Amino acid sequence: MGGLFHRWRHPPRSYVICGIARSGTNLLSDGLRETGRAGRPNQFFFPAFEEYFRREHGLEPEVPFADYVQKVIRNTSTSNAVFGFKLMASYLEDFLARLRATGVFGDAETPDLDLLRNFFPRLRFLQITRRNKLRQAISQARALQTGLWKVQPGRQASGTAQFDRELITRCLADAQQAEKIWSAFFGRVALQPLQIEYEDLCENYEATIRAVLKFLRIRLPRGRRIVPITVRQADAISREWEERFLASSPGVSDRA
């Protein structure tokens, strides 16, 4: 432990985007990445993606998790030494357990917030949510059916989207449970994250990204413009599904 501790390189500033499925994390993280001053946030610690990121950073599967974390920090921080990452409610507890198991910066008695900030000093928290929960559920249902989680040039759907009221209902329930996980976490660590709403990000993209940068104390070069590169999935199909769901589910609102 001592050797790793002494050669550990911390970014002066770090942040985490706390989200759930289809809450707008891609839109937010891509915007921050494109500034060139806010790290290159991604889901580095999602177990399903870790094999890909290990290969990308030249690390074998047997390399300890603590070394993997350090390599990701070193390789994806921007030149101003800012590191960012995304974290979903679905693997929050697994991530905390893996950090704790390294024994590098904490043990079973170390509070969660201390543990995180020992690995990621000056860590700040961003939480992105959606006001329209039904559209969020519809977006997730479509992504599950098509395999298209991020709409970008060159990306093709691997399946066909068909209206499925039961699937949308399950996605609504999943989102509610995921938001409860984040609420419980922030209550446990007595911390209030910067709240960002997906709808505000879509309607006032540059202003919202600039507000996030101000919270993170990151300055952009004078005259730098911020434009979205991620395409919103919502379209006529989404609107049709929303109308069909509401018509077939009396008592359910878009804020469910």
Range from 47-61, 91-105, 239-253 carrying the lowest mean pLDDT: 239-253
pLDDT above 60: residue 30:
yes
Task: Name every residue whose Cβ is closer than 8 Å to that of residue 251 and which is 6 or more positions away in sequence.
Answer: none
| 62-84 per-position pLDDT tens digit | 999 999 999 999 999 999 999 99
Token pair recorded at residue 79: 């030149």
Per-residue pLDDT, 6: 46
- Residue 232 DSSP one-character state: P
Per-residue pLDDT, 137: 95
Per-residue pLDDT, 20: 97
pLDDT above 60: residue 167:
yes
| 142-157 per-position pLDDT tens digit | 989 987 766 655 556 6
Parse the chain into domains and list their residue ranges.
Answer: 2-132+182-225
**Residues listed for the chain:** 256
- Stronger pLDDT, 8 or 2, i.e. the higher one: 8
Average pLDDT of span 22-31: 94
135, 156, 233, 239, 241 from 236: Cα distances, Å:
12, 18, 10, 5, 9
Alpha helices in the chain (DSSP H): 2-7, 25-34, 47-56, 65-76, 92-102, 112-119, 133-146, 165-189, 198-203, 205-216, 236-248
The CATH architecture one would assign to domain 2-132+182-225 is: 3-Layer(aba) Sandwich (3.40)
pLDDT above 80: residue 4:
no
- The answer to pTM > 0.85 is yes
Mean pLDDT over the full length of the chain: 89
Range from 34-43, 177-186, 242-251 carrying the lowest mean pLDDT: 242-251
- Stronger pLDDT, 192 or 221, i.e. the higher one: 192
Average pLDDT of span 206-213: 96
pLDDT above 50: residue 1:
no
pLDDT above 60: residue 164:
yes
For residue 88, give the amino acid letter.
M
**Beta carbons of 85 and 45 less than 8 angstroms apart:** yes
| 193-208 per-position pLDDT tens digit | 999 999 999 999 999 9
Sign of CA dihedral 145, 149, 153, 154: negative
Give 236's pLDDT tier (boundaries 50, 70, 90).
Answer: confident
